[in-house]
Structure 1
Amino acid sequence: MNQGGTTYDELKEMDPHGLCEDLEVLRKETYGSLCHKDYLHLRRVEWYGRAASFLGYLTIWIAVNPITAFLLSLGQFTRWLLAHHITHRGYDNVPGVPKRYTSKYFAMGWRRYIDWFDWIHPKAWDHEHNYLHHYHTGEADDPDLVERHTEFLQNLRIPKLLKYIFVAIAGLTWKYTYYAPNTVSVIDPSTEKRIQKGHIVFITILNIFDFRRAHVRKLWTSCYLPYGLFHFALIPLAFLPFGESVALIVLLNKLLAECITNFHSFLVVAPNHTADDLYRFSFHYDRKEEFYATQILGSANYGCGSEFVDYMSIWLNYQIEHHLFPDLPMTKYREIQPKVKALCKKHNIPYKQENIFKRFRRMVDICVGNTKMMGLTRFPDRTDALASLPQHHNTTESRQNLPFH
């Protein structure tokens, strides 16, 4: 079944072995070129966020307005940007990088409240996103499979407009209604150690108040209460000496900023692997060449190439390159993107790149049931069968896999 993506005959023309060989050469060259400039760029991006936060808080008390809210939102989103690339070990091997910008130290322990104070728990994010998502992309063990998460919405017999409204509400709230509970679910609530895939029971919006569960208590004590009280109670109260109306303005600007940063991240993150021209996989890759090919077949890029566009997309517009080499500094993705695209063309690997708003529309169409993703039951060079996946999307047991990079 093909819905705007690649046909079976085109997939048979892929040369994953040749692609793998060329990507390994590119990988060696790229990792060998890490330099101090990569760290300086990281610091510059950090200051983008600091400047946005400073201007936001400088004007937060004047009036409720979208400019202040956007600046506050951008400052918060920049901290997620930094966390994403640093916890991916993107700067661990950069010459001259201070240890606080490495994955072992950034946002760990008390540094969480300085480096990345968000709804999301850093250790939980590391396991849920950096391992489970990245090394099971599009598979049944991928915790961020949007099409699976929205099956209930696709099947609801309600007016389509209500489905679109639901997606909009989800986008405005998803860091605390989806990402915080989804990530906390993958760590032990007492030790914060990783839980093996077969033993994970995810928290959902339906059991988010079931305080009998240790994971739910962890979610509230480590995520909801600290973040919520600080941003929506303590900060507005700090302005109370200037009058109740000023404190109310601060609160409303903070709430508006929260909605903006949620939807901004939803716009950038959610469409990366969800569209009618991307694949889900009912198998787990065996070899590195399969890993490379499935990451490309299940990912899409947005427009890229300029500092402003890349920053506003938090460098996730290079999603294909990021999934091939997840532990690179941000600057390297811009450098290698044309090379990766050329290699895909050389080896007949479909390379999807489109305007972010078009990719977002494709994702929304999946969520509301207008379209479906394509599916591979086997890797093409293993007597592949191309099929539309059933709602339950069964899979073979995923084998233990360690990151290649």
Structure 2
Amino acid sequence: MSWWVGLLRRSWQSVPHTVLTPAAWLVVGLVAALNASRFVPTARPVDALGIALIVLGPLLLVVRRAHPPAVLVGCTAVLLGYLALGYPFGPVVVPSLVALAEAILRGHRRVAYVTTGVAVLAGLAIQIVVRGGAAGLEGRLGWLAWLAAYVAGCELWRARSERRAQAAAAREETARRQAGEERLRIARELHDVLGHHVSLINVQAGVALYLIDDDPEQARRALATIKDASRDLLREMRSTLGVLRGIDEEPPRAPTAGLGMLDRLVADNEAAGLAVSTSVDADVRALPRSVDLAAYRIVQEALTNVRKHAGAGRALVKVTAADGTLRVVVDDDGAGPPERPGEGGTGLVGMRERATALGGTLSHGRAPGGGFRVEAVLPLAGSGGAAVGAVGARSEEETG
């Protein structure tokens, strides 16, 4: 028995509503027409012409979604013709009401209101001239009140449909914007991670090749640095690609990137031949996570640029927290990145995007004492911002 129910359900779902609604009202109209003489004996009997008009209205509804105004005008003309010929009033009016609702819902409101107004005036004229004078006007006025309520309901439904469409469009736009922001974030992460580790591996590989015969011990240390850098690179790449796949297989065991790993970043750069000094005047453990990550990546990318482009031998990293902001400054004694048109290379653009994403700023240019400077000012949002600004100093010096 259940397979019969499933067959009927699938059959019902396979029938398009553009055909189902006209077919239903066609059946209702024909049944009402065949029994009209018993309920309205004074009206003109429904003959072949009357049946043709009853059939024509539902047939026009088949194309109501493709041509709402034309179908409304056609159904209204059929209805007025039917009433003008003296046939009994009944379900023949329904196709016009369906066409009116379709026109309003599709936004053809002016055509709908003009056609409805013309139909009402023509109907009153037909009632006075053809269908018994003013005797039935009281009932027609009641029907007009019902028609006004029907139009109001159609307008409410149209407004509700528009709100739902706008909400769906807003949700889609929000999802699209969030996806774009996530892609940009992942692109920045990949750029910073690859730039730092790959450049470090490249430098150490060159050192190992150059010293493998003359100083095997130094070459061995360079290879060990390559191993550590490649391991870190694989770990961070795996974490980032896991976000792309949308999975978290297990909680991360390695520390997440942040200013707490500044010592390790300094050691990596010194292993590549860049002496880095640091001065930290903030409690990095109290930093908001987004600010901590952005500050670390800015320092990482700035030092990578120093190694790759500046030709510098030393760099100084200063981190200070005051007045609700975190200030990160990276100075070097080199020539700075190569001149490029516009705002600089991808690294500088990525650092600026990280800063502006948090409502901060990033500037770069010649340092006051010579060399090149990258400076970021990041607002400390959320809990922990006030605590960081009040923390005492913690300084450390790393020598090459």
TM-score (norm 2): 0.22
Q: Which protein has the bigger strand share?
A: 2
Q: Which protein has the bigger helix share?
A: 2
TM-score (norm 1): 0.22
- Which of 1 and 2 has greater Rg? 2
Structure of greater relative contact order (alpha carbons < 8 Å, 6+ residues apart): 1
